[in-house]
Amino acid sequence: MIVTVTANPALDLTWHVERIVAGGTHRADTGAARAGGKGLNVARVAHAQGAPVRAITTVGGATGAEFADELTAAGVPHVLVPVAASTRRSIALVDEALGDTTIINERGVAPTASEWEALKAAVADALRADARVLVISGSFPPATPDDVLPALIALGRNAGAVVIADTSGPSLLQAADAGASVLKPNEHELRDATGLADPLDGARELLRRGAELVLLSQGADGMLAITASAADPDLQVLHARLDRVLAGNPTGAGDAAVAACAVLMDAGIHDPEKILRRATAWSAAAVLMPLAGEIHPSCPDLERDLIVVPAAFAPATHAEKPLPARETASDVVSHADSGFSPAAGAPAPDSPASGAPTPASDRRNPR
């Protein structure tokens, strides 16, 4: 089973307008509202693909009631931890003329100490139900205690689960230090967290701290799977990209990549190339769907169309510390948004097409 944790959920509100004009008044048809947050998007995708999942998050206030109703209607197995603060909102305005999306994310309010404990207890209970994978995705509310993320990762490792973390900033380094097996940054997040301009140097730093696999998005250039080991500190790098750039909605593409990784690992598949192929294909399939948390049924065809090659050899330098040897929650030895971008005149979901090779971003409910 896959357990997902969303510490800073949001009610996602989406409106489509013909053209966004700054300072103007706009009219739109009735928008879409759904329970959102990166971990929930991961759970939706995995559940739709037949994987056993349990999504754990917090919920509060009137917004939280609407959030809970939608999640229940969606049929995704979940546990909701009540909190006093109202669930935040994420507002997306889609410009139909340009194919651009403007997103406004409320920051959210941190749970109280007792509410954090209730969340951790819910995670521990779910992990005891034969969970093999723990996914921790998205941002944490402002003023979250520093020990929350390490405590969640420790719960997963102590239960024998593979821990996948999709977060950013200091939390990305914290996740590596705490023993997350798989990390899924994009290039901007990796550079921001490590302060290193070269993405391979940044990935090496995460591996040195204890991660086993780094899935790194390169926007329109595709995705990298980067691994190393204590015995062989030289980086092993695989690069995957589609043979064309897709036009569509990149919101949630990174969550689909995480879902792909989680589903394979839950099935006992830890091979970096297989994970990279599935993650890149599901990211592309997510671009072809109007809402995050969904992938297009053409994903098997997209996976067959991938170009996967070894990237340039990246030797470790003598100045670097060797990768630490440590016991891990899995035998994985080796998470980034898709290399696919929105474009003006995006096609309908059943019509993959080429678009301008501009970097994609998974901006809804960012880390």
Q: How confident is the model at residue 41 (pLDDT cuts 50, 70, 90)?
A: very high
Q: Which residue has the higher pLDDT, 321 or 218?
A: 218
Question: Which candidate, 87, 176, 181, 173, places its Cα nearest to that of 132?
Answer: 181
Q: Is the dihedral of CA 14, 18, 22, 28 positive or negative?
A: negative
Q: Which two tokens stand for residue 59?
A: 């919920």
Q: Is the model's pLDDT at 208 over the cut of 50?
A: yes
Continuous segment of H or E residues that includes residue 227: strand 223-227
| pTM for this entry | 0.84
Report how far residue 11's alpha carbon sits from residue 28's, in angstroms, rounded to the nearest whole number. Answer: 19
Label residue 357 by pLDDT band (50, 70, 90): very low
Instruction: Please check the confidence at residue 367 and state whether its pLDDT lies above 80.
Output: no
pLDDT tens-digit series, residues 58-89: 999 999 999 999 999 999 999 999 999 999 99
Grade residue 339 by pLDDT with cuts at 50, 70 and 90.
very low
Using the structure block, give the residue that is written with the tokens 């049924």.
297
Predicted confidence at residue 340, as pLDDT, reads 44
Domains of the chain: 2-7+38-86+107-310 (3.40.1190.20)
216-266, pLDDT tens digit by residue? 988 778 899 999 876 667 899 999 998 887 877 788 899 999 999 999 999
Residue 312's pLDDT band, with cuts at 50, 70 and 90, is low
What pLDDT was estimated at residue 118? 99
3-state secondary structure of 155: helix
Mean pLDDT of the region 341-361: 36
- Using CA atoms, how far apart are residues 75 and 73, in angstroms rounded to an integer? 5
What is the arrangement of strands in the sheet containing 32-36, beginning at the earlier edge strand? 32-36, 10-17, 88-95, 100-105
Long-range contacts of 24-29 (CB under 8 A, 24+ apart): 26/93
Give the per-residue pLDDT at 364.
57
| Most confident range, picked from 28-32, 199-203, 345-349 | 199-203
- Name which of 205, 203, 104, 162 is nearest 330 in CA terms: 162
Query: In the chain, pLDDT over 70 holds for what percent of residues?
Result: 84
pLDDT surpasses 80 at 16: yes
Query: Which parts of 233-354 are beta strand (E)?
Result: 236-242, 306-310
Confidence of residue 345 (pLDDT cuts 50, 70, 90): very low
Digit-coded pLDDT (tens) for 254-270:
999 999 999 999 999 99
Report whether 102 contacts 93 (CB < 8 A).
Answer: yes
pLDDT of residue 85: 96
Average pLDDT over the chain reads 85
Pairwise pLDDT comparison (92 vs 53), residue with the higher score: 53
Residues 6+ apart with CB under 8 A from 69: none
Task: Indicate the pLDDT class of residue 29, thresholds 50, 70 and 90.
Answer: confident
CA 361 – CA 317 distance, rounded (Å)? 32
pLDDT digits (tens, 9 = 90+) for 117-136: 999 999 999 999 999 999 99
Q: Would you call 255 a catalytic residue per the annotation?
A: yes
In the predicted structure, residue 37 carries a pLDDT above the cut 60:
yes
Q: Out of 95, 255, 266, 337, which one is annotated catalytic?
A: 255
DSSP state of 219: G
Name which of 45-49, 190-194, 314-318 the model is least confident about.
314-318
C-alpha torsion angle, residues 195, 196, 200, 206 (rounded to 10): -30
332 has pLDDT over 50 = no
Could you tell me the pLDDT band of residue 94, with boundaries at 50, 70 and 90?
A: confident
**Separation CA 63–CA 67 (nearest Å):** 6
